[in-house]
Amino acid sequence: PTIYFVTTNAGKLREARALFQDYFDVEQVDMAYPELQDEDLSKIAAYGARYCADLLGREVIVEDSGLFIDALNGFPGPYSSYVQKTIGNKGILKLMEGVEGRRAEFRSVVGYCKPGEEPTTFTGIWWGDILYEETGTNGFGFDPIFSYRRFPVGEMTLEQKNEVSHRRRSMIAFRDWYLSKTK
């Protein structure tokens, strides 16, 4: 089968293609869609999936993700994309200067929808720590400031990240659900 993934983010697309390899062909729909203002990424993904399915007249997935930093009460969370484009990783490191508690989690929610039907969502969470400086050049977005079990994500290969990430969990949950549904 072919899965239409509505996203403007090349990093997400690359990881999804690798996770779906041998299961689905992934066709990118490079289009921005309206994002609800909500704390809850599931609501954003569900709304986006329904909007895109109805607009395009075909079944689609979208993925909403974000970085939630404990010491910043979950910031940037649902504002991750905006924060990445404005203050970026250097801005986050500045906010974290002198902060000892570095725990943070990445969340990823895949939203799936068929035209005229209710959306379904699949969530993945990945705990780690905010580094003290940007490290590595792999990955995208916040990867250079995130570490998992003391391993900088900016130094992971795509395959290593795809073994353990939030996106792995959400995409694989979707993949298994979709395959069992269409069997």
How many CA atoms within 13 Å lie on the side-chain side of 155?
10
Binding residues for Mg(2+): 35, 64
**141: left (phi > 0), else alpha (psi -120 to 50), else beta?**
left
Binding residues for substrate: 7-12, 65, 140-143, 161, 166-167
Catalytic-role residue among 22, 54, 64, 70: 64
Q: Cβ 35 to Na ion, closest distance in Å?
A: 6
Rounded Cα distance, 89 and 71, in Å: 16
Rounded Cα distance, 170 and 153, in Å: 18
Instruction: Supply 80's token pair.
Output: 């991750």
Q: Which does 5 bind (CB under 5 to 8 A by kind): Na ion, ligand ITT, none?
A: none
Binding residues: 7-12, 35, 64-65, 140-143, 161, 166-167
* Binds Na ion by CB under 5 A, chosen from 81, 135, 138, 160: 81
Cβ nearer to ligand ITT, comparing 141 with 152:
141
| Residues of the shown chain interacting with ligand ITT in the complex, contacts defined by CB under 6 A | 7-9, 12, 32, 63-67, 80-81, 84, 106, 139-143, 165, 167
The reply to whether 28 sits near Na ion by the rule CB under 5 A is no
Cβ nearer to Na ion, comparing 66 with 139:
66
Strands 151-152 and 146-148 turn out to be antiparallel
Check: CB of residue 117 under 8 Å from CB of residue 160. Answer: no
Query: Has 64 been annotated as catalytic?
Result: yes
Quick one: CA torsion of 10, 33, 163, 96, rounded to 10 degrees? 90
Q: Cβ 115 to ligand ITT, closest distance in Å?
A: 20
Residues that bind Na ion in the complex, under the rule CB under 5 A: 81
Task: Supply the residues annotated as catalytic.
Answer: 64
